[in-house]
Copies of this chain bind each other. A is one copy, B any other.
Amino acid sequence: MRRGSPAGPRREEHSAARVDKFLATALDLFAERNFASVTIKDIAQSLGVNTALIYYYFDSKTDLFRATIEHAVGRAFENVRTLEDKSADPPTVISAWLENHVNKYAEIHRFVKIALDFRGAHEGDPNIANAIERFYDEERKLLSKVIRQGIKQGLFKPVDPNRMAQFISTYLDGCMVRSVILSDFDLEDAVRDLHRRALDMLGYSGKRRMKRQRR
């Protein structure tokens, strides 16, 4: 819960962008290290701001963490939604979704790391747990929906859409972890590998495979 003002009259909207900057910085730090490792001082310093100021915007360190993760989930959703609208062709949406994991790697792996960290430090807060599970749910829905479309359009074999979606996103999570853990892990290559195999499993033999960047 964000505060408005501590005691005085509410100044209202002043802070919107300010808070965003706080949250962005906090996200960086919480993802790079973890909740317990990052101190309020670290965050304040990163912002070029005094420690006490953080308590003007947030009730506690935990509160800041919650706000941070909720904000991150929000942004991730945006990403997903944009992708969904962008195109109607199922194979293209799948490609875009995979490319998204390569391009937005920084954001997504941050999310995965924080989600993992959360389970070890805040075993209680249902708000955070909820946000995380909703994210994964949404992810699965997006994929299974587009696979279902592809099947209906006769582009894909009649596989189980949910299962296939889960398979893909589980592998992608694996990629996110490995690219953090293993210094020589080639994310782009690993995702391209999945792409190839996924299309095979879907029985899609279109010659258009994953593209580099171009449109």
Q: Which residues of A contact B (CB under 8 A)?
A: 32-37, 112-113, 115-117, 119-121, 129, 132-133, 136, 163, 166-167, 170-178, 180-183, 190, 193-194, 197, 200-201
Please, which residue of chain B has its CB at the minimum distance from the CB of A184?
B133
A35 neighbours in B (Cβ, 8 Å): 36-37
With A174-B172, A175-B170, A197-B167 known to touch, is A180 a contact of B119 (CB < 8 Å)?
yes
- Besides the known contacts A34-B37, A170-B174, 19 further A-B residue pairs in the complex with CB atoms under 8 A apart: A33-B36, A34-B117, A37-B120, A37-B121, A112-B181, A113-B116, A115-B181, A116-B180, A119-B180, A132-B181, A163-B193, A166-B190, A166-B193, A167-B171, A170-B171, A170-B190, A173-B178, A177-B177, A200-B201
Task: Write the nearest CB–CB distance from A169 to chain B, whole angstroms.
Answer: 8
A176 neighbours in B (Cβ, 8 Å): 177
With A36-B36, A166-B190, A190-B166 known to touch, is A136 a contact of B181 (CB < 8 Å)?
yes
